[in-house]
């Protein structure tokens, strides 16, 4: 047998082997399809906010992050395998703390803790690595309103040693508008009659409007913390947040597969 005959037989073997594997490809494709479905869920985690001042004097003071709860409910609506939008109703605490030594003698501590209800519209961009495991990036607007909170000041030894004000009685800007951007991982878990979606993500919330109110800039409000309260510039809310989300996709029976019984598997066609 010549080398040409051996090469011909080898190529024939490879072609037949690939053809046999291709017969199984439809079964595999049905099991791992990216047929997207809308799902609903709850999320919870922490937010680590701080205040950013555009005033140079206040920038030089030591500003601390706080750790506060963050949770909400959402629905994710897919546009395609890679893109979806996830409208969200969120509760979060924003603000920050500042502690410093005034005139090398007086210890001053100032903390703003504002409770917000926010509406968010992040756009998710998925990497289609596998239906059960996909990293993603997200970006979207974040709009909130102050519903509660407190502002506390402690400065023993000064003319006003301290104060505490309910935030709804203060001159804080009640409206928050910002941007949200981050990255996360999505896991899908198949259970009888339901598909669970587990997501974990980390994000920056970036306040875009001044948290000082118009009363501050119009000089119609007299601040108590006069030593570190400059109203000539802006005070912005910034933060870093981490969440764990759990959503569910209701089971949708595939009538076509149920009718033909593709490969004996009637539970294909789940929404991912």
What is the structure's pLDDT at 130? 86
183: confidence class by pLDDT, cuts 50, 70, 90? very high
What average pLDDT does the segment 227-248 reach? 83
Structure confidence at residue 232 as a pLDDT band (50, 70, 90)? low
Structural domains in the chain, sorted by start: 37-264 (2.40.160.20)
Averaged over 114-125, what is the pLDDT? 97
3-class SS letters over the chain: CCHHHHHHHHHHHHHHHHHHHHCCHHHHHHHCCCCCCCEEEEEEEEEEEEEEECCHHHHCCCEECCCEEEEEEEEEEECCCCEEECCEEEEEEEEEEEEEEECCCEEEEEEEEEEEEEEECCEEEECCCECCEEEEEEEEEEEEEEEEEEEEEECCCCCCCEEEEEHHHCCECCEEEEEEEEEEEEEEEEECCEEEEEEEEEEEEEECCCCECHHHHCCCCCCCCHHHCCCCCCEEEEEEEEEEEEEEEECCCCHHHHHHCHHHCCCCCCCC
pLDDT higher at 81 or 168: 81
Residue 265: the pLDDT is 40
Mean pLDDT of 224-235: 60
Angstrom distance (rounded) from CA 210 to CA 115: 16
User: Averaged over 158-171, what is the pLDDT?
Assistant: 79
Residue 246 has pLDDT above 90, yes or no: yes
Is pLDDT above 90 for 73? yes
Report, as an integer, the average pLDDT of 77-106: 89
pLDDT confidence of residue 174: 92
pLDDT tens, residue by residue, 26-36 = 333 333 344 57
Residue 143 has pLDDT above 70, yes or no: yes
pLDDT mean over 101-120: 87
- Of residues 101 and 270, more confidence is placed in 101
Whether residue 230 has pLDDT greater than 90: no
pLDDT band (50, 70, 90) for residue 113: very high
Question: Average pLDDT of 131-139?
Answer: 93
> Higher model confidence: residue 251 or residue 86?
86
Residue 254 has pLDDT above 90, yes or no: no
Looking at residue 115, its pLDDT comes to: 95
Mean pLDDT of the chain: 78
């Amino acid at each position: 047998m010549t080398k040409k005959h051996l090469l011909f037989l080898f190529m024939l073997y490879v072609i037949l082997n690939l053809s046999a594997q291709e017969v199984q490809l439809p079964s595999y494709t049905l099991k791992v399809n990216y047929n997207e479905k809308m799902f609903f869920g709850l999320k919870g985690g922490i937010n680590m906010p701080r205040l950013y001042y555009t005033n140079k004097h206040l920038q030089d003071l030591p500003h601390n992050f706080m750790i506060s709860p963050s949770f909400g409910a959402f629905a994710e609506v897919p546009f395609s395998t890679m893109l979806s939008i996830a409208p969200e109703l969120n509760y979060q605490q924003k603000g920050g703390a500042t502690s410093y030594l005034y005139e090398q003698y007086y210890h001053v501590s100032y903390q703003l803790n504002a409770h917000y209800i926010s509406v968010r519209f992040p756009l998710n961009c998925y990497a289609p690595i596998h239906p059960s495991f996909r990293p993603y990036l997200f970006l979207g607007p974040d709009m909130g309103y102050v519903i509660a909170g407190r502002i506390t000041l402690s400065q023993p030894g000064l003319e006003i040693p301290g104060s505490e004000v309910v935030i709804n009685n203060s001159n804080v800007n009640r409206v928050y508008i910002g941007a949200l951007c981050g990255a996360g991982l999505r896991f899908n878990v198949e259970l009888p009659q339901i598909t669970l979606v587990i997501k974990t993500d980390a994000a920056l919330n970036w306040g875009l409007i001044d948290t000082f109110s118009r009363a501050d800039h119009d000089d119609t409000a007299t601040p108590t913390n006069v030593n570190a309260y400059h109203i000539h510039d802006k005070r912005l809310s910034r933060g870093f947040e981490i969440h764990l989300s759990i959503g569910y996709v209701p089971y949708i029976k595939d009538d076509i597969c149920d009718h033909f019984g593709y490969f004996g598997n009637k539970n294909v066609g789940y929404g991912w």
